[in-house]
């Protein structure tokens, strides 16, 4: 009888140690507002490449890294088609899109 009780106590302790932790769920209305730093826009970066037309969109092609980024502003990009430029903007990594702030031709 003593063995059975010790075995059961051992199982309770063992399974108590390996049980997954309980996570509390906080309703969305109670969650804190994001800080101003979390809401801040990412810092703009500069990209070097050639602007090419791809269907009805314009892309920035970087021959050094063999990458292509879709440009979100065709109006700003169209005058530079076929030219080497620097594009300043924020990149959305999930969709590989650059949100264009400015474009300058490289001399």
The answer to whether position 61 is within a domain reads yes
Q: Which residues span the domain enclosing 51?
A: 41-105
84 in any annotated domain:
yes
| CATH number of the domain within which 48 lies | 2.40.50.140
Residue 88 above 70 pLDDT? yes
More confident residue, 60 or 10: 60
CA pair distance 99, 25, nearest whole angstrom:
36
Q: What is the CA 25 to chain-centroid distance, rounded?
A: 25
- Is there a domain that residue 1 lies in? no
pLDDT for residue 86 is more than 90: yes
Those residues with Cβ within 8 angstroms of residue 85's Cβ, 6 or more apart along the chain or in another chain: 48, 49, 50, 51, 60, 103, 104, 105, 106
8 in a domain, yes or no?
A: no
């Amino acid at each position: 009888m003593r063995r059975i009780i010790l075995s059961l106590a051992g199982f309770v302790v063992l399974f108590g140690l390996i049980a997954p932790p309980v996570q509390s769920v906080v309703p969305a209305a109670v969650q804190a507002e994001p800080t101003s730093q979390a809401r801040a826009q990412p810092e703009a970066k500069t990209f070097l490449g050639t602007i090419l037309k791809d269907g009805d969109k314009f892309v920035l092609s970087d021959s050094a890294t063999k990458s292509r980024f879709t440009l979100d502003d065709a109006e700003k990009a169209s005058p530079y088609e076929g030219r080497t430029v620097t594009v300043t903007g924020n990149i959305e990594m999930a969709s590989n899109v650059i949100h264009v702030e400015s474009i300058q031709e490289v001399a």
